[in-house]
């Protein structure tokens, strides 16, 4: 019984982890159709922003929930102004440009912090469950992910801001004709995506540590999750995380963690063969 | 034109073959010309935590020798290559060091995969090679000298020691997924079963894995008496952090064959590492006059914040000095003469105590220690002076078969 509970909790944590690293990309790639190859570096920058501000004396929670998203959001704003703005609607070009940005960010961070792993210990300790235990921080991360997606849903569905954003993404000219400034909407959306990535990177940092090249660990998984999810960004990212995360956890427990990773990739390949437009291309089509 | 160049090539080849070592001979014609030496260590990427202190020791040893007048009156020109934790670059740089730089000797290689990437290349180009990291044992190659400790020198004592200390019968092994992790796990199986215990389960992880959540749950289900960590590299470091975060710290004790050789005691907090038991051929807390003098020079040269000296770092220092002594003894930096001189049972007493080259295996007899990590430092619990490389010696005799080139792998029936 205790064991079943711990396995379920581990499953929730794994799914939340996938959803968390994909959330920012779901906004930038899912909504804006920008193939953001620098997504992994946004996560990495979030981790460093939290680490550095915490080491400079800032409270850990403020570092994670305020400093990291603000820093990465600002970096996103600069990048949007200098690079991304010129490339809206040119998907392949965004891929090349953001790949260049990704290499540059890795280079700059390596120069500043050195190519080494730094870390903060995860706070909060652990909760015992029968003879087992699980880190409270990991559960908190899962909770924050849930709140993040709930918040995203409320903003997109229930607020005028969300409506305008969705409208501008769907039909730029029509939105402009109705008096919306699409350039501003695009910039704001990109910055929001970057800030979410920053928060995600900061949340993961205490668990995994940060290194300049750590983005490469996440980028493939994030893209696989978002693409498997399909057009509806929130439902898509969540359902794909749930599916791929379950496959990963099941194989990790029954066999080895390495086969868990292999199974995740195999499941994604299979999924896209059966549902080329992602999960939400077939199911939950009217969702967000 | 084609004919001409082919003929020239053939002539040159014939002349080269006839003279044998002519290029090497010509090179020592001018006495003041520096001796080329190559160092190939990861200074960046996930393996750099091991590489950086090794690169420091290599530089320190070379500078000392040069300050004392060089080798055979010639200064050493050291060139460092950084393979960036990328195994392909190891082969490339080994070739470059042997052919373009024409190095007389190569020091380097960190993880076993990198050693196996360079070994055939350096053998083909007849460039002697010193591998200074502790490893799984069994390399039998006359062109190579392995300075680090091997399982018979450490694990054979270490496994029963920790089983007794932790009152453990079942061991859960977490290992890096390449030759070092795989073979070391076999040794742990062997020594555990010889001492009435068993390896309950062994999990292997690629070097870039940094999420150990599912594994920690599996360990909780398995309830082993102790953990043996054979994890390698910076990404694996996060295991120690996640282990503590999952509340496992004082529930299941841990020993490791790798914790500390990348100065993990600095990268993790005392909460995370207190109580981990390790076994190496060197600790920077050793109170011998040689070590204290060495550490003083090391700190003076690289500063207070430099990476602490590790076994591999100390052994790099030993290796350079042994090679220099061999060249002096041979009166030449020629490959065959230096190897013969090293095979005369040369020894060097330095920071890691006395290390003596074993001519039959090209490994060395060295002192090993078992220590506990506490508050970022090592506290030696037991020491085992002058351990011979018995594991490699059981399978390798280079005096009898000098053309052997393989790495023998222990076969353990569990």
In a domain, A288, yes or no: no
Q: Name which of A277-286, B141-150, B358-367 the model is least confident about.
A: A277-286
| CATH code of residue A88 | 1.10.3470
Asked whether residue B311 falls in the same domain as residue B327, the answer is yes
Domain that holds residue A134: 2-282
Q: Please give the pLDDT value at position B130.
A: 93
Q: Is the pLDDT of residue B16 over 60?
A: no
What residues form DSSP beta bridges with B170? Answer: B198
pLDDT (tens digit per residue) in B321-342: 999 999 998 888 888 999 989 8
Report chain B residues whose CB lies below 8 A from the CB of A264.
none
Question: What pLDDT is stored for residue B320 in this prediction?
Answer: 93
In a domain, A287, yes or no: no
Q: Is B48 on the interface with A (CB under 8 A)?
A: yes
- Are B190 and B296 members of one domain? no
Asked, for residue A68, whether it belongs to a domain, the answer is: yes
Any domain includes B215: yes
- B chain contacts of residue A260, beta-carbon cutoff 8 Å: 214
Q: Quick one: how far is CA B103 from the chain centroid? A: 20
Quick check: is B387 in a domain?
no
- From B262, B280, B298, the end of a domain falls on B280
| pLDDT interval class at A60 (50, 70, 90) | confident
- Token pair 């550095």 is found at A52
Asked if residue A40 belongs to a domain, the reply is yes
- Check whether B213 has a pLDDT greater than 90: no
Which helix (H) or strand (E) element contains residue B170?
strand B170-176
Comparing alpha-carbon positions, the chain A residue that sits nearest to B216 is A134
Residue A160 lies in a domain: yes
Interacting residues of B339 by C-beta distance below 8 A, sequence separation 6+: B128, B142, B143, B326
Check CB contact under 8 Å for B220 and A208.
no
- Closest chain B residue to the Cα of A124, Cα to Cα: B245
pLDDT of B116 > 60? The answer is: yes
Which has the minimum average pLDDT: A116-125, A140-149, B193-202?
Answer: A116-125
Mean confidence (pLDDT) of chain B? 85
Quick one: pLDDT band at residue B7, thresholds 50, 70, 90?
A: low
pLDDT bucket at A249, cuts 50 / 70 / 90: confident
3-state secondary structure at position A176: helix
Q: With contacts defined as CB-CB under 8 Å, which chain B residues touch A206?
A: 241, 245
Give the pLDDT band of residue B11 (cuts 50, 70, 90): low
The alpha carbon of residue B259 is apart from the nearest alpha carbon of chain A, in Å, by 15
**Chain B residue with the nearest C-alpha to that of A246:** B214
Q: Are residues B289 and B145 in the same domain?
A: yes
Q: Give A280 to chain B, closest Cα distance, Å.
A: 28
Segment B73-90 shows an average pLDDT of 89
Does pLDDT of A89 surpass 80? no
Q: Are residues B252 and B294 in the same domain?
A: no
Question: How far off is chain A from B308, nearest CA to CA, in Å?
Answer: 15
Residue B93 has pLDDT above 90, yes or no: yes
Q: Do B265 and B296 belong to one domain?
A: no
What domain count does chain A have?
A: 1
Q: Are residues B181 and B118 in the same domain?
A: no
Among B280, B305, B327, the domain-final residue is: B280
Residue B259 and residue B325 share a domain: no
Tens-place pLDDT, residues B268-311? 788 888 888 988 889 888 888 988 899 999 999 998 888 888 88
Question: Chain B residues with CB inside 8 Å of A132's CB?
Answer: 217, 220-221
A116/B48 touch (CB, cutoff 8 Å), yes or no: yes
The answer to whether residue B39 scores a pLDDT higher than 90 is yes
Q: Is B348 helix (H, G, I), strand (E, B) or coil?
A: strand
B213 and A13: CB-CB below 8 Å?
Answer: yes
Q: Is the pLDDT of residue A141 over 70?
A: yes
In a domain? residue A35: yes
3-state secondary structure (DSSP) of residue B164: helix
**Contact (CB<8Å) B204/A110:** no
Give the closest of B205, B213, B220 to A138, CB-based. B213
Burial class (CB in 10 A: 0-12, 13-18, 19+), B187: buried
CA-angle at B407, arms to B403 and B411, nearest 5°:
130
pLDDT more than 90, % of chain A: 25
Say if A109 falls within a structural domain: yes
Binned at pLDDT 50, 70 and 90, residue B2 comes out as: very low
Query: Chain A within 8 Å of B348 (Cβ-Cβ)?
Result: no
Interface confidence, given as ipTM, is 0.74
Of A135, A209, A213, the CB nearest to B245: A135
pLDDT band at B38 (very low <50, low <70, confident <90, very high): very high
Assess whether B143 and B159 both reside in one domain: no
Residue A118 lies in a domain: yes
- Distance to chain A for B209, nearest Cα, Å: 8
Is A112 in the B-facing interface, judged by CB distances under 8 Å?
no
Q: Which domain holds residue B118?
A: 33-149+285-367
Read off the CATH number of the domain in which B209 is found: 3.40.50.2300
In the predicted model, what is the mean pLDDT of residues B366-374?
A: 89
Q: Is residue B16 part of a domain?
A: no
**Per-position DSSP letters for B240-296, written without gaps between them:** HHHHHHTT-TTTS-EEESSTTTT-HHHHS-HHHHTT-EEEES--TT---HHHHHHHH
- Inside any domain, residue B82: yes
Most confident by average pLDDT, B10-14, B23-27, B103-107: B103-107
pTM for this predicted structure: 0.76
Q: Could you tell me whether strands B105-108 and B35-40 are parallel, antiparallel, or unpaired per DSSP bridges?
A: parallel
Question: Is the model more confident about A276 or about B103?
Answer: B103
In this prediction, residue A241 carries a pLDDT of 92
Kindly state whether residues B302 and B204 are assigned to the same domain: no
Chain A residues 223-262 with CB within 8 Å of chain B: 249, 252-253, 256-258, 260-261
Residue B177 inside a domain? The answer is yes
Closest-CA residue of B relative to A248 is B214
d(CA B263, CA B47): 12
Chain B residue with Cα closest to A262: B206
Determine which of A136, A257, A259, A263 to mutate to test the interface with B (most B C-beta atoms within 10 Å): A257
Q: What is the pLDDT of residues A97-122, one digit of tens each?
A: 999 999 999 889 988 887 667 777 77
Q: How far apart are CA B40 and CA B134, in angstroms?
A: 16
Q: Is A282 on the interface with B (CB under 8 A)?
A: no
Q: How many CB pairs under 8 A join A and B?
A: 118
Hey, CA dihedral for A183, A184, A187, A192, is it positive or negative?
A: negative
| Among B209, B179, B61, CA closest to B115 | B179
Identity of the residue in B48, B220, B234 whose CB atom sits nearest the CB atom of A6: B220
Q: What pLDDT is attached to residue A69? A: 93
Task: From chain B, pick out residues whose CB is under 8 angstroms from the CB of A125.
Answer: 245, 247
Query: In this complex, do A209 and B241 lie within 8 Å of one another by their Cβ atoms?
Result: yes
Mean per-residue pLDDT over chain A, rounded: 86
So what's the pLDDT on residue B199? 87
A7 touches chain B (CB under 8 A): yes
Which residues on B lie below 8 Å from A111 (Cβ)?
A: none
Question: What's the whole-number mean pLDDT along residues A63-81?
Answer: 92
> For residue A209, which of B300, B402, B245, B251 has the smallest C-alpha distance?
B245
Q: Are A103 and A41 in contact (CB under 8 A)?
A: no
Domains contained in chain B, number: 2
Average pLDDT over residues A156-173: 85
Which of B228, B259, B280 is at the close of a domain?
B280
> pLDDT of B234-246, one tens digit each?
778 888 888 888 8
CB B27 within 8 A of CB B287: no
Residues in chain A with CB shorter than 8 Å from the CB of B48 are 115-116
Closest residue, chain B, to A135 (C-alpha): B246
Mean pLDDT check: name the lowest of A54-58, A189-193, A201-205: A54-58
């Amino acid at each position: 019984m205790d064991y079943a509970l711990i396995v379920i909790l581990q499953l929730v944590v794994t799914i939340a982890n996938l959803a968390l690293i994909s959330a920012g990309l779901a906004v930038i790639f899912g909504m804006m159709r920008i193939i953001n190859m620098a997504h992994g570096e946004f996560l990495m920058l979030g981790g460093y922003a939290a680490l550095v501000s915490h080491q400079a004396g800032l409270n850990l929670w403020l570092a994670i929930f305020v400093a990291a998203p603000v820093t990465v959001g600002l970096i996103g704003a600069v990048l949007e102004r200098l690079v991304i703005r010129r490339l809206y609607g040119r998907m392949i070009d965004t891929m090349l440009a953001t790949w260049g940005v990704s290499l540059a960010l890795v280079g700059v961070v390596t120069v500043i912090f050195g190519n080494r792993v730094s870390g903060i210990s995860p706070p909060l300790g652990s909760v015992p469950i029968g003879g087992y235990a699980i880190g409270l921080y990991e559960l908190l991360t899962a909770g924050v992910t849930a709140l993040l997606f709930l918040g995203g849903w409320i903003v997109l569905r229930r607020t005028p801001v969300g409506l305008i954003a969705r409208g501008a993404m769907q039909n730029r000219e029509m939105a402009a004709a109705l008096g919306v400034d699409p350039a501003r909407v695009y910039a704001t959306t990109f910055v929001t995506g970057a800030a979410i990535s920053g928060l995600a990177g900061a949340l993961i940092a205490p668990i995994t540590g940060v290194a300049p090249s750590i983005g490469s660990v996440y980028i493939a998984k994030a893209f696989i999750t978002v693409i498997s999810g399909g057009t509806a960004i929130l439902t898509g990212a969540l359902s794909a995380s749930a599916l791929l995360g379950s496959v990963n956890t099941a194989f990790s427990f029954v066999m080895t963690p390495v086969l868990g990773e292999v199974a995740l990739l195999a499941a994604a390949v299979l999924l896209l063969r059966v549902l080329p437009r992602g999960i939400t291309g077939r199911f939950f089509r009217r969702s967000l | 034109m084609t004919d001409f160049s082919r003929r020239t090539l053939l002539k040159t080849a014939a002349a080269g073959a006839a003279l044998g070592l002519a290029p090497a001979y010509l090179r020592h014609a001018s006495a003041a010309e520096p001796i080329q030496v190559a160092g190939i260590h990861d200074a960046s990427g996930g393996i750099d935590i091991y590489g950086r202190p090794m690169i420091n020791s290599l530089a320190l040893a070379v500078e000392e020798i040069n300050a004392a007048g060089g080798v055979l009156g010639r200064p050493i020109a050291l060139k460092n290559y950084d393979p960036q934790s990328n195994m392909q670059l190891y082969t490339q740089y080994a070739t470059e060091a042997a052919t373009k730089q024409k190095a007389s000797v190569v020091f380097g290689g960190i993880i076993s995969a990198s050693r196996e990437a360079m070994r055939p290349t350096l053998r083909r180009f007849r460039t002697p090679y010193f591998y200074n990291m502790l490893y799984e044992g069994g390399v039998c190659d006359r062109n190579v000298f392995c300075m680090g400790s091997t399982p018979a020198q450490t694990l054979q004592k270490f496994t029963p020691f920790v089983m007794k200390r932790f009152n453990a019968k079942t061991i859960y092994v977490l290992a890096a997924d390449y030759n070092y992790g795989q073979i070391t796990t076999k040794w742990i199986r062997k020594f555990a079963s010889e001492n009435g215990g068993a390896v309950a389960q062994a999990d292997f992880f690629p070097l870039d894995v940094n999420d150990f959540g599912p594994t920690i749950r599996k360990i909780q289900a398995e309830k082993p008496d102790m953990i043996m960590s054979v994890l390698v590299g910076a990404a694996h470091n996060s295991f120690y952090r996640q282990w503590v975060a999952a509340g496992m710290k004082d529930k299941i004790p841990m020993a490791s064959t790798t914790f500390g050789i990348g100065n993990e005691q600095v990268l993790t907090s005392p909460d995370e590492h207190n109580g981990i038991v390790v076994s190496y051929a060197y600790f920077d807390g050793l109170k011998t006059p040689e070590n204290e003098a060495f550490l003083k020079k090391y700190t003076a040269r690289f500063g207070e914040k430099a990476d602490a000296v590790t076994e591999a770092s100390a052994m790099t220092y030993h290796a350079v000095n042994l090679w220099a002594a061999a060249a002096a003894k041979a009166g030449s930096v020629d490959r065959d003469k230096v190897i013969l001189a090293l095979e005369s049972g040369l020894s060097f007493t330095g920071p890691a105590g006395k290390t003596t080259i074993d001519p039959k295996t090209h490994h060395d007899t060295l002192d090993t220690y078992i220590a506990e990590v506490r508050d970022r430092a090592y506290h030696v619990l037991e020491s085992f002076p002058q351990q011979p490389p018995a594991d490699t010696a059981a399978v390798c005799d280079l005096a009898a078969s000098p053309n052997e080139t393989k790495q023998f792998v222990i076969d353990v029936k569990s």
